[in-house]
A = this chain, B = another copy of it.
Amino acid sequence: MRSAYHEQLEILNRTLGEMCELSGLTMEHATRALLQADLEVAEKIIEDRERMTVLTADAEDQAFKLLALQAPVAGELREVVTGFQIAADIDRMYALALHVAKVARLRHPEPALPEEVRGYFAEMGRLAVRLAQGAREVLSTLDPKAALALGVDDDAMDDLHRHLFSVLMDREWPHGVAAAVDVTLLGRYYERFADHAVAIGRRVVFQATGKTPEQFADAEQ
């Protein structure tokens, strides 16, 4: 028989899953706004930002109720506290996607990105969206292997980020300093977005196994 605790935890996890979906979708649209200098898409994202505020407040309320009404102990207590931390990670991912949309809006009608780096951002956007989807999935399945595997896409993101910087720094960059500043900050937003998705994966590994991701990876080898 399922306990009231597990029913309420499922509600919390469903909210966290919705938050992940919204973050991923927002990053997908923000990347489109950035690549296509699409003002309408950028403004829609920025107007809709209350949605995440509401979802984050919902998740925190649900987690508080779980603590207050079910008074979980040991592993279950950790599970709920982790829920707060995951909500904070997703909230930040969403804020970073918003930052991308704001740069697209600020530079419109010009594209924020020189042609030369558009391919990098198309790929970083694709990875970011996939990481958000992956985080959503592991929040639902609590599969520690899949949670750990989010690190692979994050490594790919870090590689792209490093290459992007070498394009900025090593070649004759003909687009001036203002464009370089935009590209630097945008690159950082995507990289941080990925870091938070990986952090969610790490928390899920710990929830599911009681091990740190490093301990779990060692045990799997």
The yes or no answer to A64 lying at the interface (CB within 8 A) is yes
Among the listed stretches A38-46, A77-85, A129-137, A145-153, which one makes contact with chain B, having 4 or more residues with CB under 8 Å of it? Answer: A77-85
A74-B64 Cα distance, complex, nearest whole Å:
9
Please give me the 5 A-B residue pairs with the lowest Cβ-Cβ distance, nearest first: A184-B184, A169-B178, A177-B180, A173-B177, A181-B184
A52 CB, nearest partner CB in chain B, Å: 16
A81 CB, nearest partner CB in chain B, Å: 6
* Residue in contact with A67 in the complex, picked from B77, B180, B181, B185, CB distance below 8 Å: B77
* Residue in contact with A185 in the complex, picked from B68, B74, B184, CB distance below 8 Å: B184
The number of chain A residues with a CB under 8 A from chain B is 24
Residues of A bordering B, CB below 8 Å: 63-64, 67-68, 71, 73-74, 77-78, 81, 84-85, 88, 165, 168-169, 173, 177-178, 180-181, 184-185, 188
* Residue in contact with A71 in the complex, picked from B71, B85, B88, CB distance below 8 Å: B71
A67-B68 Cα distance, complex, nearest whole Å:
10
A85-B91 Cα distance, complex, nearest whole Å:
13
* Residue in contact with A177 in the complex, picked from B71, B73, B169, B188, CB distance below 8 Å: B169
A78-B67 Cα distance, complex, nearest whole Å:
10
Residues of B within 8 A of A73 (CB): 68
A73-B68 Cα distance, complex, nearest whole Å:
6
List 23 A-B pairs, Cβ < 8 Å: A67-B67, A67-B77, A67-B81, A68-B74, A68-B77, A71-B71, A81-B81, A84-B84, A84-B85, A165-B181, A168-B178, A169-B177, A169-B178, A169-B181, A173-B177, A177-B177, A180-B180, A181-B181, A181-B184, A184-B184, A184-B185, A185-B188, A188-B188
